[in-house]
Amino acid sequence: MKQSKAAKDWDLVIIGSGSAAFAAAIEAKSYGAQVLMIEEKKIGGTCVNVGCIPSKALLSVSNFFSKLNKNSFDEITITKGSLNSHQLKGNKDKIVKALKEKKYLNVAQAYGFEILQGTASFKNSETLSVNGKELVAQNYLIATGATAVVPSIKGIDTVKYLTYETALELEDIPESIAIIGGNAIGLEFAQHFANLGSKVYLIEALNRIAPFEEPEISQALTSNLNLRSVEVITNARILEIKKSLKDAIKVITIVNGKEREVIASKLLIATGRRPNTERLNLFNTAVKVGSKNEVVSDEFQRTTQQNIWAAGDVTGSFQYVYVAAAQGRVAANNAITGSFETLEYKAVPRVIFTSPPIGSVGLTEEKAKQMGFDPVAKILNFADVARAVVNRDDVGFIKMVAERQTGQILGLHIFGNSAEEILQAGVYIIQSGFTIEQLASSWSVYLSYSEALKLVAQSFEKDVSMMSCCAG
């Protein structure tokens, strides 16, 4: 690493090196700003090291392995495969290393901003201490991300549990695994381990998994996981965690008023993430920290301290890498130029990479009601989408939520193959304020999964199961 420049030279000092940090640095450098980035641990933050990239690298392989061992084409012989679990981790590590170098280290070098390895903390609102040395900058950006939160459960400290970070490092496939938490992280790991043949117990405190998605999606996902050696346990209140025989772990729960014991060889805690602010000594500044450890910031990404900004997971907002990057760019623009740029969040997409995946954008039917809309909704089964039928992969559906009077489309929710790809068109639909009529009369590619968007719009007025191919 280079030696730090004189303190007065920095226009923007960024604490963290993830997607928010890099987007901010690139934006600030475009205005000729002098930028310093400080990283305590691994350059690249969550996404490339312990988040999106490594988890999807593992899922890609395990999904492929699962498909090889589940032939949908009964009349065609396909040889089943075997898998070397050590190579699985090696493949993941290789991808992470390559992307970290290409998308982070090389980018920093190309744009000419310095990365200083060290722990940063505020001495006061104007001064930052890094590795025992002080520096002063015109503006600071907090982009320190978030890490796994482990709930307080009796006995949890007596067992060796996994988080999403340590689970990525497993080289051996567990015979069984109990996963506490039925939202995105827990669901994706449940899918991954089930693909590899593990018996999975998915334990959720609420009354359904994927609790923030449409209830129809939660129900369909539960049924699908049950067919894949995943036992879904909802309405579960965990009483205690204990060691069991042969290094197994026992999870004692109350489910619908009855005590239940789950014994598994591994335990994964997937109960969410907590913003990283503890080591920053923000009490030495006027920066407000919320009840969940998040840095409080306004719509311009400015904190309650005028020269300190925040972006990404540390703010407690949408924990998506693309939102973090957008917030980082806006924060840098506003800090360096004095602008008042904001972001619009109504069309932020979200995906859970189960198999089939879940993709959602806009409002759920229940949320639309809460916001005062008069919603109407239709569901189109993938069995009515020709591409899905041809591929022998017609599990799933798409649900469209619209405003009854105007026909404006408020939300699109997909459970099915290619949901994450179809969803991109859904973003444009929500962002541009499309109506049912506009979408129903638009052009659509045949044979494609995305044709489901047009078909579900047509289903508000027609029985699409009684339409011939390409009749729309």
Structure confidence by residue, pLDDT tens digits, 249-264: 999 999 999 999 999 9
CB 10 within 8 A of CB 35: yes
Q: In this predicted model, which residue has the larger pLDDT, 460 or 65?
A: 460
Which of 266, 265, 288, 261 lies closest to 277 in space, CA to CA? 288
DSSP character string of 252-304: EEEETTEEEEEEESEEEE-S-EEE--GGG-GGGSS--B-TTSPBPB-TTSBBS
Q: In this predicted model, which residue has the larger pLDDT, 7 or 289?
A: 289
Structural domains in the chain, sorted by start: 7-147+274-337 (3.50.50.60), 156-271 (3.50.50.60), 350-463 (3.30.390.30)
Contacts of 167 (CB under 8 A, 6+ apart): 189, 268
pLDDT computed for residue 2 by the predictor: 42
Percentage with pLDDT > 70 across the chain: 94
253-to-105, 183, 192, 205, 237 alpha-carbon distances in Å: 46, 18, 24, 10, 5
Q: Which two tokens stand for residue 386?
A: 């020709």
| 316 has a pLDDT exceeding 90 | yes
CB 268 within 8 A of CB 177: yes
pLDDT 10s digits, 220-241: 999 999 998 899 999 999 999 9
Q: Which two tokens stand for residue 403?
A: 């405003």
pLDDT 10s digits, 141-171: 999 999 999 999 999 999 999 999 999 999 8
Mean pLDDT of all residues belonging to the chain: 92
* pLDDT band, very low/low/confident/very high, at 78 (cuts 50, 70, 90): very low
Residue appearing with tokens 């949908």: 72
Give the residue-averaged pLDDT of 205-234.
96
